[in-house]
Amino acid sequence: MSVLEKFRGCLLGLAIGDALGAPVEFEQLTGIRARFGRAGITDLVPWHSLPAGSYTDDTQMALATVRGMLAAHERGRTKGIVHGPSMVYRAYLDWLATQDDPTQRRAPGNTCLSALRSGKMGTLDAPLNYSKGCGGVMRTAPVGLAFRGTEAFRQGVEYAVITHGHPSGYLSAGFMAELIGHLVDGTSLDDGLDQSSETLRIYAGYEDTLEKITQARVLAGNRTDLETAIREIGEGWVGDEALGVAIFCALRFPDDYRAAVIAGANHDGDVDSTASMAGAILGTMLGAEAIPAEWIAKIENRQEIESLAARMHEIWG
């Protein structure tokens, strides 16, 4: 499979997973089943008067990460040395400005809003808060398309700590970035998890994140049923749990994008984020051709997502 298919798979995969979970983000599994039947939500449907395929803040911010990285690349090419995280921070501020438009407000996370409104950019040396919400990890999968290995991890950490100051908030993001890079290179999911875990252990405060990754791997391996396994890992409102749920879904359905995002979208927690992250992993692993064509046809801003993937591929593919 071509590298371009993996880039498309990552961006379309995360957006479509997000759009699948969006209509049920704040519902419990029992409520989801009451609305959609025993199998839960299994297709893109309209929500909040938005058409089917509309995504949430997760995808908006992941695309902002992409725009920030592209801007950093462009500036580096024309002006020499550039500080990547500062360019990504600017892209997040551009996203913040869109949140004044009610049609663009898609249940944004409070930590992201308040951190970006503070006028300061959080860094590892000067974090703005002690939040471990999943608002960091939900937006860093595309970092693995531009960087590899420990550098992908570090960039992911720096982009997440802009808004989230707890290690579980930013290390989960670094992990996601490095994992995606391994999958682009054709490394197996298990080996990618092993290698990203090695990097994770270098950082202070890694323990909770590693515990969730390990738990996801054990539960995926021992055939624990889907519902019980995800409940044990957690609801995913915090970064380490969201990462754990997404990894579990990918390991349980490594050949089936649709099944993995449906698993990520049907539980008691932050389902748009976990489905989005599972979608990024599977989309990168299997390529965009593994994503149902009728879903790709329906996703919001498809042309823009495709052109961002193509642009990233021109530079980093």
Long-range contacts formed by 46-53: CB under 8 A, 24+ apart: 47/22, 47/23, 50/103, 51/298, 51/300, 52/19, 52/298, 53/16, 53/19, 53/295, 53/298, 53/299, 53/300
Each residue of 162-172: b (16+ CB within 10 Å) or e? bbbbbbbbbbb
User: Does residue 300 interact with Mg ion by CB under 5 A?
Assistant: no
The 58-97 site mask, x for binding Mg ion (CB under 5 A), equals x---------------------------------------
- Least distance in Å: CB of 64 to Mg ion? 13
Whose Cβ is closer to Mg ion: residue 20's or residue 179's?
20
Q: In this structure, are residues 104 and 128 in contact, taking their beta carbons and an 8 Å threshold?
A: no
- Least distance in Å: CB of 129 to Mg ion? 19
Whose Cβ is closer to Mg ion: residue 5's or residue 18's?
18
d(CA 312, CA 307): 9
Pick from 27, 57, 158, 241: which binds Mg ion (CB under 5 A)? 57
Give the helix/strand (H/E) hosting 77.
helix 57-79
- Give the count of residues interacting with Mg ion (CB under 5 A): 4
User: Does residue 208 interact with Mg ion by CB under 5 A?
Assistant: no
- Least distance in Å: CB of 55 to Mg ion? 8
- Least distance in Å: CB of 106 to Mg ion? 6
Burial of residue 200 (CB within 10 Å: 0-12, 13-18, 19+) is buried
| 219: Cα separation from own chain's centroid | 21
Whose Cβ is closer to Mg ion: residue 57's or residue 178's?
57
Residue span binding Mg ion (CB under 5 A) among the ranges 28-36, 51-59, 170-178, 202-210? 51-59
d(CA 65, CA 160): 10
User: Does residue 56 interact with Mg ion by CB under 5 A?
Assistant: yes
- Least distance in Å: CB of 21 to Mg ion? 8
How many CB atoms sit inside 10 A of residue 95's CB?
22
Kindly identify the residues of this chain, within the stretch 266-295, that bind Mg ion according to CB under 5 A. 272
- Least distance in Å: CB of 135 to Mg ion? 9
Binding site for Mg ion (CB under 5 A): 56-58, 272
